[in-house]
Amino acid sequence: MTATKADIIARLQKDIFPLQGFKTALNNIALDKAIGPIKNAFPGNHFPVGVMHEFISDSKETAAVTTGFVAGVLAQLMQQGGVMIWIGACKNIFPPAYQSFGIAPDKIIFVDLQKEKQICWAMEEALKCEGLVAVIGEMQELSFNASRRLQLAVEQSKVTGFIIRNNPRSLNTTACVTRWQITSLRSQLPEGMPGVGFPRWKVTLLKVRNGKPGSWDMEFAAGRFRQVNAIPAIPLQVQQKTG
């Protein structure tokens, strides 16, 4: 009896997900593979494509780290070819670096805008365009209404949208399906090796619709994400030795 109840609930959930913006038909297997254990946090154990993702960053360093994580995800989306649009104040962007994440920088179109109103308008227009793989917007504030418009646009066109919010004044409610925060972790190399290792991030899923928020320590190497164990604190004497 209880088993049938669970079946009914599972079936109902399956019916509800498409209504909430999760489209199972769009699942990107390559991305699910590359993203590692994070995919289990989402309904259906698939990284949601064709929805709005929101990223929060609080400094220039975390902005770069967030961009790195987004680039890692985008690289999987762009594997089939295609073009994406980057909207925002692009004065910090260094295009050649995207190549090392597996994205051809010449396949990104940058739209250099300052005003939030203009960015929102351009994002909405871009998200309606089915010829794109992804749209990335950089802005500070995102009102609920604006995010709702963007989410409705992606539900029509199935383009994936990313919003990177730098230094938001308040973490207001938005209609985006997820909210992430990425911070940097110390890289680790095999014992005794000099230099800086692969980028490591603390990936925190603050909010996810119908999923399980969580936090993972991830390393990005060779185009895929790998979960790593927490790094022990630096012993004091090592700290002194460096340099």
Partner 1 sequence: MSKRFVSIWFRQLKTDWLVRRQPSLKEAPFVLVLPDHGRMVITAANEAAKRQGVYNGMVLADARAIITGLQYFDDEPGRAELLLTGLAEWCIRYTPAAATDVPDGLLLEVTGCAHLWGGEERYLTDIAKRLHHIGYDISIAIADTVGAAWALARFGKKINIVEPSRQSDALLSLSPTALRLEATVIERLEKLGLRQIHQFIAMPRTALRRRFGLELLNQLDKALGLQEETIQPIHPIVPYQERLPCLEPIVTATGIEIAMQHLLDKLCNRLQHEQKGLRLAVLKCYRVDGKMISVDIGTLRPSCNSKHLFKLFEEKIATIEPALAIELFILEATATEELSPVQKNLFGHKGALDDIELAELLDRIAGKIGAQHIHRFTPDEHYWPERSYKKAALNETIATGWKISNPRPLHVLPRPQLIDVTAPVPDYPPMNFRYMGNLHTIIKADGPERIEQEWWLQQGRHRDYYIVEDEGGKRYWLFRSGHYDVEKTYKWFLHGFFA
* Contact positions vs partner 1 (CB under 8 A): 60-61, 63-65, 67-69, 71, 80-83, 85, 90-101, 104-113, 118, 121-122, 125-126, 128-133, 184-187, 189, 194-197, 199-201, 220, 234, 238-239, 242-243
Cβ atoms of 37 and 47 closer than 8 Å = no
CB closer to partner 1, 169 vs 241: 241
How far is the C-alpha of 105 from the C-alpha of 123, rounded, in Å?
Answer: 19
CB of 100 to partner 1, least distance (A): 5
CB of 207 to partner 1, least distance (A): 23
Residue 218, H or E segment: strand 214-221
Residues in the chain: 243
CB of 96 to partner 1, least distance (A): 5
CB closer to partner 1, 54 vs 138: 138
Block residue for tokens 């009914």 = 8
CB closer to partner 1, 9 vs 189: 189
Q: Which of 46, 44, 66, 43 lies closest to 54 in space, CA to CA?
A: 66
Tokens of 106: 């010449």
Measured N-to-C along each axis, helices 144-157 and 116-127 cross at an angle, to the nearest 10 degrees, of 20
CB closer to partner 1, 39 vs 200: 200
CB of 71 to partner 1, least distance (A): 7
How far is the C-alpha of 225 from the C-alpha of 61, rounded, in Å?
Answer: 20
Cβ atoms of 176 and 149 closer than 8 Å = no
Measured torsion, CA atoms of residues 92, 98, 103, 105, in degrees rounded to the nearest 10: 60
CB closer to partner 1, 110 vs 216: 110
CB of 182 to partner 1, least distance (A): 9
Quickly count: other Cβ atoms within 10 Å of residue 26's Cβ: 13
CB of 212 to partner 1, least distance (A): 25
CB closer to partner 1, 210 vs 216: 216
